[in-house]
C-alpha cells in the first residue's frame, strides 16, 4: 500500500516484498552488486525535543533499492551482512556518504544538529574501525563532536576489555554515544554506568505497546534509570499522539517516529534543516 503512494522509497517495506529476496546466496550476491554499483542510498530521520518540538538531531538510515526486488529493508539485510562480514564495507560506505552529505549541507550554510550513525557490532569490532572513522571525518572536515554513534545495547554492553577501551577512546575523540534499542538486551546497571554514553534509545517494541501497562512501566523505569545516570532519553517509533503525550508526561527528552517524520531523502532533510 505504501508502494502505490509513490513516495515510499524511504519507508518501511511490506512483508510480501521481502519474500522476493530469496536465498542467502541471492542476498549476498545482491549486496555485493549493490556495493559495486552504488545502489545504496541514505535516508535521514529527524528527532525532536519533546519539550518544545525543536529539531534535536537526525539518524542516518541505509536504503537499498534492488533493480528487481525493489526496496529491501535494512532489518532484513543488515543482520545478514553482519553475519557474512559485508557489514564492514557497508558501514564504510554509510560513513563516507553521511560525512559527504554533512559537508555539503554545511557548505550550503545550514546549521546541522547532531548526526547519528548506526554502528553494527561487527563493524565496531572490525580491525581499524577507529582509523576508518577518523579518516573519513578528516576527509570531509567533519568534527567528531558533530557525530553520535548509535550502538545497540548488546554490542555496547557485552563488551570485552578491547571493546570497552575502543568505546572510551571514541568518547575521548569527541563522539557522542547512544545505546540503541535499549530494553531488549540484558545489561546490568553497573555495565550501563561504566559506559560513556550520553543517550539511551528506548526500543520501538516498548513504545508501540503504550496503553499496555507493563510496557508503560518498563518505559518509566528506563527513563528514571537513564536520567539517574545523566543520560538523555530518546523514544524510537513514536507513531501516535497518545504515545507522544505519554512519553512527554513521563519526562522522556526526545522522540523519533512516523508521528513526527518518516525517514527523509537528502533533499527533504535539507528542507527540514532550513531555518524557519
Ligand atoms: P534502528 O537503528 O533502531 O533504526 C530505527 C528504525 O525504526 C528504522 O528502521 C526506522 O525507519 C524505523 N522507524 C522510525 N520511526 C518509526 C515508526 O514510527 N514506526 C515504525 N514502525 N518504524 C519506525 P529501518 O530504517 O528499517 O532500519 C532498521 C534497522 O536496521 C535499524 O534500526 C538499524 O539497526 C539497522 N540499520 C539501518 N541503517 C543502518 C546503517 O546505516 N548501519 C547499520 N549498521 N545498521 C543500520
Ligand atoms: Mg539506530
Ligand atoms: Mg533504534
Ligand atoms: Mg530499533
Distance CA 116, CA 178 (A): 8
Count of other CB atoms within 10 angstroms of residue 227: 15
Ligand 1 atom 44, closest CA? 120
> Which one-letter DSSP state was computed for residue 122?
H
Ligand 4 is an ion; residues with CB less than 5 A from it: 181
Residue 123 CA: which ligand 1 atom is closest? 44
**Residue having the nearest C-alpha atom to atom 20 of ligand 1:** 237
pLDDT at 275: 85
Q: What pLDDT is stored for residue 19 in this prediction?
A: 53
- Model pLDDT for residues 162-181, shown as the tens digit of each residue: 888 999 999 999 999 999 99
CA–centroid distance, 128 to ligand 3, in Å, is 25
Ligand 3 centroid to residue 64 C-alpha, Å: 18
Average pLDDT, the chain: 90
What pLDDT shows up at residue 20? 52
The confidence score (pLDDT) of residue 6 equals 44
Between residues 213 and 21, which one has the greater pLDDT? Answer: 213
- Residue 246 three-state SS: helix
ipTM of predicted complex: 0.98
Quick check: 208 pLDDT over 90? yes
CB 146 within 8 A of CB 113: no
135-153 pLDDT per residue, tens? 999 999 999 999 999 998 8
* CA distances to 107, 136, 270 from 143, in Å: 14, 10, 19
Lowest-pLDDT range of 57-61, 85-89, 191-195:
191-195
Measured by CA distance, the residue closest to atom 19 of ligand 1 is 237
What's the confidence (pLDDT) of residue 37? 94
State the distance from the centre of ligand 1 to the C-alpha of 63, rounded, in angstroms: 10
Cα–Cα distances (Å) from 178 to 58, 134, 155, 199, in that order, read: 12, 18, 11, 4
What is the number of the ligand 1 atom nearest to the C-alpha of 263? Answer: 11
Amino acid at each position: 500500500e505504501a508502494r502505490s503512494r509513490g513516495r515510499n522509497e524511504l519507508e518501511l517495506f511490506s512483508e510480501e516484498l521481502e519474500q522476493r529476496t530469496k536465498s542467502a546466496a541471492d542476498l549476498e550476491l545482491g549486496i555485493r552488486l549493490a556495493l559495486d554499483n552504488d545502489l545504496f542510498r541514505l535516508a535521514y530521520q529527524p528527532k525532536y525535543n519533546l519539550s518544545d518540538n525543536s529539531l534535536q538531531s537526525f539518524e542516518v538510515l541505509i536504503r537499498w533499492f534492488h533493480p528487481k526486488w525493489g526496496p529491501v529493508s535494512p532489518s532484513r539485510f543488515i543482520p545478514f551482512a553482519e553475519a557474512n562480514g559485508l557489514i564492514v564495507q557497508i558501514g564504510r560506505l554509510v560513513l563516507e556518504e553521511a560525512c559527504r552529505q554533512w559537508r555539503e549541507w554545511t557548505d550550503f550554510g545550514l546549521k546541522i544538529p547532531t548526526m547519528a550513525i548506526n554502528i553494527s557490532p561487527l563493524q565496531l569490532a572490525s580491525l581499524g574501525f577507529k582509523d576508518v572513522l577518523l579518516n573519513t571525518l578528516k576527509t570531509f572536515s567533519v568534527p567528531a563532536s558533530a557525530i553520535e554513534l548509535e550502538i545497540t545495547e548488546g554490542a555496547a554492553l557485552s563488551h570485552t576489555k578491547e571493546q570497552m577501551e575502543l568505546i572510551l577512546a571514541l568518547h575521548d575523540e569527541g563522539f557522542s554515544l547512544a545505546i540503541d534499542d535499549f530494553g531488549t538486551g540484558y545489561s546490568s546497571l553497573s555495565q550501563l554506568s561504566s559506559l560513556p554514553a550520553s543517550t539511551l534509545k528506548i526500543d520501538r517494541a516498548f513504545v508501540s505497546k503504550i496503553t499496555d501497562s507493563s510496557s508503560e512501566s518498563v518505559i518509566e523505569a528506563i527513563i528514571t534509570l537513564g536520567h539517574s545516570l545523566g543520560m538523555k532519553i530518546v523514544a524510537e517509533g513514536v507513531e501516535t499522539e497518545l504515545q507522544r503525550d505519554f512519553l512527554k508526561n513521563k519526562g522522556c527528552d526526545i522522540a523519533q517516529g512516523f508521528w513526527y517524520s518518516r525517514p527523509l531523502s537528502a533533499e527533504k532533510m535539507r528542507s527540514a534543516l532550513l531555518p524557519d
